[in-house]
Amino acid sequence: VQVVESGGDSVQVGGSLRLSCAVSGLTNSWYCMGWFRQVPGKEREGVAWISSTNRLNYAASVKGRFTISKDNAKNTLYLQMNSLKSEDTAMYYCAAAVVSSSVINLCPVIKYIDWGQGTQVTVSS
């Protein structure tokens, strides 16, 4: 599976941004996809997840502000980010994983193997 992120930019506090992730090679019926972010010197953290069954999960820090979605016809994963805060500044990564049906509801905790190169989001006041 290959994933390529895009859409990162510099925005002001309170602004919005939509990230995209082009996915290729994901042919399995059971999979998880997610958005993660990392700030230099800190561990990468999960932001939002979506399963092939469209089950959604969000980190508490972004719930109500970010929305994850996917367009199967376009093989693209999205992250709509609203009401951006300075603490949302980070490199954002897209990831995908083929899973078994038994763990399809565990997208936030599974191990992701296929990662993109990241796209930078900078939120400033």
Per-residue pLDDT of 77-104, as tens digits, reads: 999 999 999 999 999 999 999 999 999 9
Decide if 88 contacts 38 (C-beta within 8 A): no
Q: How far apart are CA 67 and CA 125, in angstroms?
A: 22
Q: What is the pLDDT of residue 29?
A: 86
* The pLDDT of residue 59 is above 90: yes
Q: What is the dihedral of CA 54, 58, 64, 67, to 10 degrees?
A: -50
* The pLDDT of residue 28 is above 90: no
The predicted model gives 101-119 an average pLDDT of 94
